[in-house]
Amino acid sequence: MIAISKELKLHERLQMQLNRRLKEDEGLLLTPLIDIIFLVVIFFMLNTTLSMNPAIKVDLPTAYTSQAALEDEIVVTLNRSGEIYLGKELVSLDRFPLELKKEMVRLHHKRMILRADEYLAYRNLVEIMDLARLSGVESISLVTLKKSLAE
């Protein structure tokens, strides 16, 4: 009888320890999940920032409300001398509307991102925007560098 009660107490104690362990293992560990999310966010931020084509030298103006651009966008770059790049390809002003239409068909949308040197003549910028609108572009976004509030 004493042996049976000792076994019952031992069994109850083991059962309580097992229940405590099961309760501790419930749920999702958030710390590793948050770490992975931060790594993925940093990866995409760097990837979208560096994918705009650093080979074309452009001094972008700054703005407080700058946002990162997406990879599958039509990117048109105007450098200081007025050269036009559609993606990474140099395009003449005469061929720009035709090449832009081809790019819109390829990407299945009519949004354009315009990277223009801050010292580019305003008339050149307006001319490219006008040609883009005539080619069927519905939305034009201007690329700027993020300006800090301290400036």
- pLDDT tens string 101-134: 998 898 888 889 888 888 888 888 889 999 999 9
Assigned domain for 151 exists: no
pLDDT in tens, 3-61: 666 666 776 777 766 666 555 556 677 888 889 999 988 887 777 655 555 555 555 55
For the cut 70, the answer to whether the pLDDT of residue 69 exceeds it is: no
Q: What is the CATH number of the domain that holds 85?
A: 3.30.420.270
Whether residues 137 and 77 share a domain: the answer is yes
Assigned domain for 94 exists: yes
What's the CA gap between 62 and 117, in Å, rounded? 11
For the cut 70, the answer to whether the pLDDT of residue 149 exceeds it is: no
Total domain count, the chain:
2
What's the CA gap between 53 and 88, in Å, rounded? 7
